[in-house]
Amino acid sequence: KKVCVVGLGYIGLPTASLLASNGFSVLGVDVNPLAVEGINQGRVHIAEPELDSAVQNAVFSGRLKASPTPEEADVYILAVPTPFREHHQPDLKYVEQAVRAIIPWIKPGNLVILESTSPVGTTERIAGWLEEERSDLSFSDPQNRIYLSYCPERVLPGQIMRELVENDRIVGGIDEASTRLTADFYRSFVQGNILETTARTAEMAKLTENAFRDVNIAFANELSLICDKLGIDVWELIRLANHHPRVQILQPGPGVGGHCIAVDPWFLVDAAPEQAKLIHTARIINDQKPWHVVEKVMELAKRLRSPVIACLGLSFKADIDDLRESPSVAIVEHLAKIGGAVLHVAEPHICELPERLRYEHVLLTEAEEAVNGADIVLLLVNHEAFRSISPELLQEKFVVDTRGFFRVASRVEVGV
Ligand code: SAJ
């Protein structure tokens, strides 16, 4: 069987290599010519554990090839981004481009699967585009029948290769025959359960999962603000409360980053603004958290003459190199713009500062060195690499620990 995967990003590329290792012949399609060229040489443009070797094996075995344009295949998987536009409205332009690119190649019997996180109703819209452009194909006539489904990915960056195989998957077809065909396809390479439903419910399920996490992180972030006001250690509080058999509070942080959790809940707010009140408020709480951290640091900085601030971590979460939509980057950028302090930034997963942080008074350095020369230590990401920072180094410094990472006595320990 031949599979064409459109979009070779965080989801498409791992999926393409997994399919190849399961014996499918895979064509990966991407609009980025550098990514295509690199993949064909066995090189990967994404940092994800075990992805390089999987792609290398797939390419060198001859079962994975990349190209800027689609070809004929049995199954088409669309894994392109779905960002939002101004006013938090979902932008389906990449999905539409991908669908329009495969439309000329589709034959009766083919299966089209959308994996991109999408607003409810997107699979039905794709069916509309297909019917519009290809009157020779049909979702009902057995002679010219094609199949279409939604199957969201649910993998966690950092564990993608394992979770792609082990996670349960939800499959929702545009009709029952599509659901069944798609479920059989995923059963051929996924070990988790394949759960069958409709396209609309599957779309909503993906949005619900990320909104659930966002709301729960907002709860933790709100607790951190309340505790800050009342002089209570939020980390101890949560640890204690979580001893209750039915309480499981998540961890506060500097805000919510990444390209999923901070985006997907907006698709629900956009679709049902009157109803999605809690989900909307959670988004606002999480989006405001970085500014609270900035205020906290500035309060301390004002007490010092020419403060040096060590900013530990830039990525959107621990032990990855992904800086996209990272609250830590936003915080450091804001501090840099306010000025009046020298910032020593430590991010062990990058070699140079991103464009938006290139200021004369912002320097990328090694963690211990950054801490050594600083008056204020701002912990933004709980990277494993920061465990080697000794508690002695933090003594006599102001510590703003947004992740509850350091639990030591220092001159002032501030958790936010
Ligand atoms: N965060 C906290 N406190 C926590 C947990 C997370 O502040 O207790 C922050 C992180 O620091 C980060 C953000 O939330 O900035 C998101 O991180 P994450 O690890 O929760 O999630 P992602 O964005 O890496 O991946 C999520 C996952 N969704 C769920 O767990 C419901 C993943 O399974 C999805 O596949 C992915 O979104 C996606 O692609 O939608």
Q: Report the pLDDT value the prediction gives residue 47, as an integer from 0 to 100.
A: 82
Percent of the chain with pLDDT over 90: 92
Fold (topology level) of 2-201: Rossmann fold (3.40.50)
Fold (topology level) of 229-415: Rossmann fold (3.40.50)
Q: 4 an active-site residue?
A: no
Nearest atom in ligand 1 to 253's CA: 7
Closest by alpha carbon to 321, among 363, 288, 359, 352?
352
Dihedral angle computed from the Cα positions of residues 303, 308, 310 and 316, in that order, rounded to the nearest 10 degrees: 80
Tokens of 313: 């971590």
Any atom of ligand 1 within 6 Å of the Cβ of 319: no
Computed over its alpha carbons, how large is the radius of gyration of the chain? 24
Full-model pTM: 0.94
Any atom of ligand 1 within 6 Å of the Cβ of 251: yes
Out of 288, 317, 328, mutate this one to test ligand 1's pocket (max ligand atoms within 8 Å of CB): namely 317
Mean pLDDT, residues 335-345: 97
ipTM computed for the complex: 0.97
Any atom of ligand 1 within 6 Å of the Cβ of 326: no
Q: What is the pLDDT of residues 68-113, one digit of tens each?
A: 999 999 999 999 999 988 888 999 999 999 999 999 999 999 999 9
Cα(261) to ligand 1 centroid in Å equals: 6
Q: How far apart are CA 244 and CA 85, in angstroms?
A: 41
Q: Residue 376 — φ and ψ, nearest 5°?
A: -120, 130
Q: Report the pLDDT value the prediction gives residue 412, as an integer from 0 to 100.
A: 55
Any atom of ligand 1 within 6 Å of the Cβ of 210: yes
Q: 206 an active-site residue?
A: yes
Cα(156) to ligand 1 centroid in Å equals: 7
Nearest atom in ligand 1 to 381's CA: 11
Would you list the domain boundaries of the chain?
A: 2-201, 229-415
Any atom of ligand 1 within 6 Å of the Cβ of 154: yes
